[in-house]
Amino acid sequence: MNTTKYILFLLLLMQATACKKYLDHDVEDKPNSASIDYTNIGAMYSPVSGAYRTAAGENPGFVHWMDCGVRVVRGDDVAKGSAPNDQGTLSDIKNFHNENPGVVTFWGNNNYWVDHYAVVLYCNRALTELDKFRANISASDAANLALYNQYRAEVRVIRAWAHILISRVFGDVPILTSNDILLTAGKSTVLEIRQWVISEMDSSISYLPDARPNEASPRGAVTKYTALLIKAKAAADAAGNDNGSPYWDIVLSATNDIINSHKFTLFPDFYQLWKIPGKLSDESLLELQFTDFGTSTGTSVTPGVFFTFQGPSGDQKGSPVSGWGFLSPSQDIVDFFNNRNDSVRLKTTILNAGSTESGFVTTPSGDKIYGNSNGQTRFMGKAYLPASQMTPGRTDYGSNNNVRVLRYADALLLNAEAKVRKGQNGDVPFNQVHERAKLSPVTGVTLQQVLDERRAEFACEWWGERYNDLIRTGQAATVLAPQGFAPGKEYVPIPQAQKDLDANL
């Protein structure tokens, strides 16, 4: 009975939240499959729109505030933030106390598991729904057959990214391609998951639009280049620190395809990239989209408290730039930026606050950030939205901003890394990213310089890039040793609640 209730809970949760809006557009969608007319091929996009909106949600979805904390806190660029006793288990996770009973039973870990696998479950259901439409498309209807294949590919890309995010936290986990095996699926290794992702992208790329996401219809949808970057990232994980691995050939080929398309460019202003001017720029390969529709009242599509979770705590004297104060950039990342004179990314990544409750620091955009009773003086700068860019009347922090997921800078740096590891010159892709940060070009770039550039470029972002890079390159044992890291502690334990439901976990 408990198992049945659990399945019904997940399915009802998806039905209630998944199909309401897609990107910036209202969607006429009915989550109850019994009411859908599958002969109406014009409605075939409906389950796909639901997959996008589910991915952009909290419960389920990719942007729940606690999920963000669990994913990123293990690196050396972010501390827990907030008061010491506020969600203190995040500190245990950061310090790799994986054996701590509080970590094993932590609600946040189970929340992460359910949120992300619920995205997978919805994607599986969407694929089933698409097949029902397919049954009503004639063999001579080439246009709708092409759309069917494209829509399936879009959903498979979202599902693959969900699997990567799950295994980045828990390591070996099930590959769930059917909802029928929800409570019986066995675990696949991290390598097997990456191999499956590569295969899924290979099966999807040819059906996806040859366009930037901001050129797609609807605007911001997944394209072949989104799939190529996810393929490259999966292959880099599979290659690890082995310069001779054939997976580096896959990384190089996939990133070359992105670069040689000549469709993407870096947004010139790194500071504004994370704010309203940078929404769905030519650098974007995937964004979770949210909008207030340009109005001061009424419907607003938001990522819940994703931005508020990271906003500056304390009395901000009525400013909308405020929040809970979680995920504080570390002194280590500040020192790293300063030591390399990386002022552009320092001012973007770190939102500084006053050292006392009455003191303040003025941001480059003119907002005053006051101190707090915790003495926390650093907050997440990439989550910062200036008050001057908010729609009048919208006071929720971060309202109308998107959550950046995959960027062209990642393709360039993975391309540079693959080239250097293969004995080639990686200066050109490396320097595009390096010089965007107003740094002098480098000649004969080394592997460590590429990895340092990745650290600078992706510092304090929400997908755990820094920690993942430390794991895949074998540097975690040295860099994270002061936090308590040791081989065997790479991943958070699978939640006990899930083990109780599935004996194969």
Is the separation of the CB atoms in 38 and 135 below 8 Å? yes
pLDDT at 4: 41
Q: Longest Cα pair distance anywhere in the chain, in angstroms? A: 71
**Inter-axis angle of helices 447-458 and 427-436, nearest 10:** 30
Gap between the terminal Cα atoms of the chain? 20
Residue 438 to residue 346: CA distance in whole angstroms: 12
Helices (H), 59-141: 65-72, 89-94, 101-104, 107-134
Residue 138 to residue 60: CA distance in whole angstroms: 35
Residue type, 89: T
Tokens for 465, please give them.
Answer: 């890039």
Radius of gyration of the chain (CA): 22
pLDDT at 245: 98
Residue type, 248: W
Q: Which residues of 20-54 are buried (b: 16+ CB within 10 A; e: fewer)?
A: bbbbeeebebebeeeebebeebebbbbbbbbbbbb
What is the chain's pLDDT, residue by residue, as a tens digit (505 residues)?
344 434 444 443 444 333 333 333 333 233 444 578 999 999 999 999 999 999 999 999 999 999 999 999 999 999 999 999 999 999 999 999 999 999 999 999 999 999 999 999 999 999 999 999 999 999 999 999 999 999 999 999 999 999 999 999 999 999 999 999 998 999 999 999 999 999 999 999 999 999 999 999 999 999 999 999 999 999 999 999 999 999 999 999 999 999 999 999 999 999 999 999 999 999 999 999 999 999 999 889 999 999 999 999 999 999 999 999 999 999 999 999 999 999 999 999 999 999 999 999 999 999 999 999 999 999 999 999 999 999 999 889 999 999 999 999 999 999 999 999 999 999 999 999 999 999 999 999 999 999 999 999 999 999 999 999 999 999 999 999 999 999 999 999 999 999 999 999 9
Q: Is 387 left (phi over 0), alpha (psi -120 to 50) or beta?
A: alpha
pLDDT at 395: 87
Helix and strand numbers (H, E) in the chain are 20, 10
Which residues make Cβ contacts (< 8 Å) with residue 67, sequence separation at least 6? 108, 111, 112, 115, 116
Reduce the DSSP state of residue 405 to 3 states and report it.
strand
**DSSP secondary structure string for all residues of 317-355:** TT-S-----EEEEPHHHHHHHHHTT-HHHHHHHEEE--S
Q: Which residues of 146-173 are buried (b: 16+ CB within 10 A; e: fewer)?
A: ebbbbbbbbbbbbbbbbbbbbbbbbbbb
Question: Which of 157, 246, 145, 140 has its CA nearest to residue 201?
Answer: 157
Question: How many CA atoms are closer than 13 Å to the CA of 413, on its beta-carbon side?
Answer: 25
Residue 117 to residue 89: CA distance in whole angstroms: 22
Reduce the DSSP state of residue 25 to 3 states and report it.
strand
Number of residues that this document lists for the chain: 505
Mind spelling out the 3-state secondary structure of 189-202?
A: CHHHHHHHHHHHHH
Tokens for 144, please give them.
Answer: 């709708």
Q: Is 286 left (phi over 0), alpha (psi -120 to 50) or beta?
A: beta
Q: Of all helices (H) and strands (E), which one includes residue 448?
A: helix 447-458
Reduce the DSSP state of residue 221 to 3 states and report it.
coil
**Inter-axis angle of helices 142-170 and 46-55, nearest 10:** 20
pLDDT at 299: 87
Q: Give CA separation, 322 vs 11, 81, 307, 329, 361, in Å.
A: 35, 14, 9, 16, 14
CA 141, 202, 415, 423 dihedral sign is negative
Residue 229 to residue 406: CA distance in whole angstroms: 8
Which residues make Cβ contacts (< 8 Å) with residue 11, sequence separation at least 6? 121
Q: Which residues of 184-196 are buried (b: 16+ CB within 10 A; e: fewer)?
A: ebebbebeebbbb
pLDDT at 35: 77
Strand spans (E) along 384-474 = 403-407
Reduce the DSSP state of residue 239 to 3 states and report it.
helix
342 C-beta neighbours (distance < 10 Å), count: 22
pLDDT at 32: 42
Q: Give CA separation, 351 vs 199, 356, 429, in Å.
A: 40, 15, 29
